[in-house]
Structure 1
Amino acid sequence: MFAKGQTVIQMFEKLAPKHYAVPDDKIGLQLGTLQKEIKKILVALDVTDEVVDEAIRTGTDLIIAHHAIIFRPLAHLQTDTPAGRLYEKLIKNDIAVYIAHTNLDVAEGGINDLMAEALGLKDLVPLDEVHTEKLSKLVVFVPESHHEKVLQALFQAGAGWIGDYSHCSFNISGTGTFMPREGTKPFLGEQGKLERADEVRVETIVPAGIQRAVVQALLKAHPYEEVAYDLYPMDLKGRTFGLGRAGKLPEPLTLRELVEAAKQAFDVPTVRVVGDLDRTVRKAAVLGGSGGRYVRSAMFAGADVLVTGDIDYHTAHDALAAGMCLIDVGHNVEKIMKRAVADYMNRALAEKKYETVAAASEPSTEPFQFV
């Protein structure tokens, strides 16, 4: 059985939820339909003619890409322009295009985490906070016979995290009362008769992003027809997500040594560097894409060097004057997401026993030649 398009995207958005994106970012379905079976997914950094030809050749139904193909509202769609020809080719071959941009940058396991992992950075913190998780307290009353089943269902759905502690809950035994009325099929008791039941009040923490999934898991595991539960918003904030990462290098390196490590880790032939190549660096920051605006954020995070792309001339001068090192590995370094996202989707699909498969796009979309 193949997964429907909406199911595929629901799986993907568990990795990179839309609400992680910065305001006005061009994300989501940009072309085609998700109301169809998806046999093949192609994960790409950019949607170019070469990538679309690859998609046609491999029977792809859906492209999940990082960079948008539509940046602003279309005034017209002329098929004698480069963009128009690309859209026409996608439409004629019934290939949908879904974009995940800054939400994939921000996500745990997304582009910036992948870059940090490639350099071995530890004790990571975001450079620029984008989203702070809202928390709710879930309170539910469960018959003692199903206490453990419901509790485990809540934990498996992702409830019960406080910092680095999982499976957090508070449980109080007591007596519940209810009277089944006409037309009910009660798990306990009889119609028209007041029932007293030994129950457990369960309290646990639920992040807003998974609230619906947690409630669905609760209702599925709970034996009652009408489940008594409450959700209370909390002032306590959850995890913070953001663009970029800063962390400690596994060991001190010279800037020259880090340059060579970055070239190998990100499979780039050459980089641009700002700073003394013999300087020792202990803490690094990474940011996929254009990171010039985040040099000051990297400095505030205590980083000795920022590894990013698209550094302009004046930003480089300002960083040099401030004693901040830069390694410009190019915007195309974000290609690191292709294999990782394809692997994630294949695991998620296989877990649900779908035959749909994902693959990383092979053509290079690097527009520059290095001579």
Structure 2
Amino acid sequence: MSISKIQLLEAIEKIAPIHLAESWDNCGIQIDLGKIKIEKILITLEITTDVIREAKEVGADFILTHHPLIFAPLKSINHNNITGKFIVSLIQSGISVISAHTNFDKADDGNNDYLASLMNLENIKCFDEGEDKYIGVYGDLKKECTLLDVCKILEKGLLLSSNEIRAVGPMDKKLSTIGVCTGAGADMLEIAILKNCDLLITGDVKYHDAMKAKELGICVIDAGHYGTEKIFVENMSEQLRKIFHEEVEIIESKVNVNPFDFL
């Protein structure tokens, strides 16, 4: 029961075509140790010490992440810095790494479509402006809900506690059209307004972004970077299983990579 690296690359290209990736991004192979057969793939949001330990424990040949391990061009690999330490540990453990980041964010059935489906949105469309396709989607609620109602829907859909969600806007405001940009998407505020969204759901909203949203009259829910993107693990795993069935073992990481703790 195994697949080849070519089969894995072809499957990821089918799910999240590389041409969708942002120009600044580093999607694709991060570490390639040249294994001929791939028997176990661990799916995770990103690489951490605990994720590497988990990969070794389950005997993974490959780790498939959302967040790339390597961004800037490397001039050296130094075990004394975080990225270098991860790379050395992965190579010593014989584990290759591949990432699907903004290409998966923009892909059909990727992170944003998946979150929109969890919200039961209808008439889902991509954020775009002319020929430019931005990260994120928007759609309509089946019936109007208040901002508080949507917060509760998110809590249930993303398995979050109420103190993991922050909101900008009157809690009793009626909403019908919702924009979604998983991860850090506050820069989509004005695009969401152009698309007549009453609300933008995203993560990593800064003070000035929140103040801007308040002044522009659009509601915002910040459900956290981790909170809005942890769905990558279940979503990517489901899509790979549909392609490979039982040809390769797809393992969903059980490691919580959220760096924040909540009271």
TM-score under structure 2 normalisation? 0.94
Counterpart selection for 2:238 from 335, 343, 354: 343
Distance in 2 (CA, whole Å) between partners of 1:131 and 1:62 is 36
Distance in 2 (CA, whole Å) between partners of 1:128 and 1:119 is 21
Assess if the C-alpha contact under 8 Å between 2:33 and 2:91 holds in 1: no
Assess if the C-alpha contact under 8 Å between 1:129 and 1:243 holds in 2: no
Which runs of at least 4 in structure 1 moved beyond 6 Å after TM superposition? none
Structural mapping, 1:37-48, within 5 Å = 37-48=37-48
Assess if the C-alpha contact under 8 Å between 1:289 and 1:334 holds in 2: yes
Q: 1:97-116 CA deviation, whole Å, 9 max, x = no partner? A: 10111100000010000010
Matched with 1:3 is 3
- Give the 3 Å change call, closer, same or farther, for CA 34–262 of structure 1 in structure 2: farther
Structural mapping, 1:89-238, within 5 Å = 89-128=89-128
Deviates more, 1:303-312 or 1:6-15: 6-15
SS of 2:230's equivalent in the other structure is helix
Distance in 2 (CA, whole Å) between partners of 1:80 and 1:320 is 44
Structural mapping, 1:243-322, within 5 Å = 243-269=135-161, 270-322=164-216
Distance in 1 (CA, whole Å) between partners of 2:231 and 2:34 is 26
Structure 2 residue runs of 5 or longer lacking an equivalent are none
Matched with 2:29 is 29
In the TM superposition, what is the alpha-carbon distance from 1:339 to its structure 2 partner? 1.0
Q: How many residues align?
A: 260
Q: 1:70-105 CA deviation, whole Å, 9 max, x = no partner? A: 111112211233322211110011111101111000
Distance in 2 (CA, whole Å) between partners of 1:35 and 1:131 is 40
Q: 1:154-197 CA deviation, whole Å, 9 max, x = no partner? A: xxxxxxxxxxxxxxxxxxxxxxxxxxxxxxxxxxxxxxxxxxxx
Structure 1 residue runs of 5 or longer lacking an equivalent are 133-240
Q: Does 1:331 align with 2:225?
A: yes
Assess if the C-alpha contact under 8 Å between 1:339 and 1:359 holds in 2: no
Distance in 1 (CA, whole Å) between partners of 2:109 and 2:90 is 29
Assess if the C-alpha contact under 8 Å between 2:21 and 2:102 holds in 1: yes
Distance in 1 (CA, whole Å) between partners of 2:108 and 2:61 is 27
Structure 1 or 2: more strand by fraction: 1
SS of 1:347's equivalent in the other structure is helix
Assess if the C-alpha contact under 8 Å between 2:125 and 2:137 holds in 1: yes
Whichever of the two has the greater Rg, that structure is 1
Q: Does 1:355 align with 2:247?
A: yes
- Give the 3 Å change call, closer, same or farther, for CA 106–78 of structure 1 in structure 2: same
In the TM superposition, what is the alpha-carbon distance from 1:35 to its structure 2 partner? 4.6
Percentage of matched positions with identical amino acids: 32
